[in-house]
A = this chain, B = another copy of it.
Amino acid sequence: MVDYEIFELGEVRLQMGETLRDAKLAYRTYGSLNQAKSNAIVYPTWYSGQHYDNEWLIGEGMALDPAHHCIIVPNMLGNGLSSSPSNTPPPFDRARFPHVTVHDNVSVQHRLVTEQFGIQRLQLVTGWSMGAGQTYQWALSYPEMVPRILPFCGSAKTSRHNFVFLEGVKAALTADAAFQEGWYDQPPTKGLRAMARVYAGWGYSQAFYWEELYSQLGYSSLEDFLVGFWEGFFLQKDANNLLTMLWTWQHGDLGATPGFNGDLERALGAIRAKAIVMPAEKDLYFPPEDNAYEVRHMPNAELRVIPGVWGHFAGGGVNPTDTKFIDDSLKELLAQEV
């Protein structure tokens, strides 16, 4: 009784050298593939999100309309549905789950799209946050397949500051002795709650809190928001899974794609897709200037800032204004000839 499919990957050799055996890629599709297999969109997940967390941007009358498109949402490795520390049998389970890169994720997604669906060309790749990182990777690795990209609130390479923010998240989670270096049998709830509180200050902007906009999300006070939204979200997650995805995020680097020798600017320059790159005005860990730098090195890209005070969560589907702004841009991009 699950709402997703599993694509059996078999043995996956990872960029960092280890092998995932009997690997699984969980995914869901929205809408049907047409006869020409020309209406597919790939929309990867984000840090700890699962496919259903992407559904706010999919719907009738929206850019990502299942009546017109086949929207494929692949779950990131480590997110608890695809192969993850929490669902991999020994000996590669829990604290021994291997390091997975953005490149690895996109590589297995490409297998899904080509082997399972026989698709040769997509309409678009889009994604939020770590999903944006995967979007850049799709465009670089499979230029002939990806004519359009719309990465939002993410980056091609994780900045040093973003890395430091994640160090804080990781340190809070792993400070809990119950974490037991990953060998817990009971979840390290104190660490998960601590990580949630650390995350809370980063996820939304200073102005969001100043204006008490959490009340628009149904929370009756600041503490209600910290417990109800933030702790509630991370308490559902597996600590090792979170750390696997955190490692993927911290080491996100488009320049590390084989053939580019760490040269990020050359990698950005090799993206042929028509791109609208959309940071949020007050995103505290993916600030607009980082995307501005990227766009300067991309031959076919526009920087379009999502205005307002919702910070990183401008791309999280939590308010209709930002959702419409993103959806309108997706419509515009999809309407363009490429």
A194 to chain B, nearest CB (A): 4
Alpha-carbon gap, A287 to B208, bound state (A): 13
- Please report whether the interface of chain A is mostly helix, strand, loop or mixed according to DSSP: helix
Q: Is A219 an interface residue (CB 8 A)?
A: no
Residues in A274-323 with C-beta less than 8 Å from chain B:
284-285, 287, 289-290
Chain A interface size, under 10 / 10 to 19 / 20 to 34 / 35 or more:
35 or more
Across the interface, name the chain B residue whose C-beta is closest to A196. Answer: B171
Contact across chains for B222 and A194 when beta carbons are under 8 A apart: no
Return the CB mask of A176-217 against B: 1 if under 8 Å, else 0.
111000000000001101110111111001111110100000
CB of B159 within 8 A of CB of A171, answer: no
Interface residues of A in 154-170 (CB under 8 A from B): 159-165, 167-168, 170
Taking the full assembly, how many copies of this chain does it contain? 2
Measured in the bound complex, the distance between the Cα atoms of B171 and A113 in whole Å is 42
Contact of A201 among B161, B191, B200 (CB under 8 A): B161
Cα separation A171 to B198 with both chains bound (whole Å) = 7
Q: Is the CB of B222 within 8 A of A164?
A: yes
List residues of chain A with CB under 8 Å of any chain B CB. 159-165, 167-168, 170-178, 190-191, 193-195, 197-202, 205-210, 212, 222, 226, 284-285, 287, 289-290
Report 27 cross-chain contacts, Cβ distance below 8 Å, ordered by A residue.
A159-B206, A159-B209, A160-B209, A161-B208, A162-B206, A163-B209, A164-B201, A164-B209, A165-B201, A168-B168, A168-B172, A168-B194, A168-B197, A168-B198, A168-B200, A171-B193, A171-B195, A172-B175, A175-B190, A175-B193, A175-B194, A177-B177, A177-B178, A194-B194, A201-B202, A206-B284, A206-B285
With A161-B205, A174-B194, A206-B285 known, 4 other A-B pairs at CB within 8 A are A164-B222, A167-B197, A168-B200, A171-B195
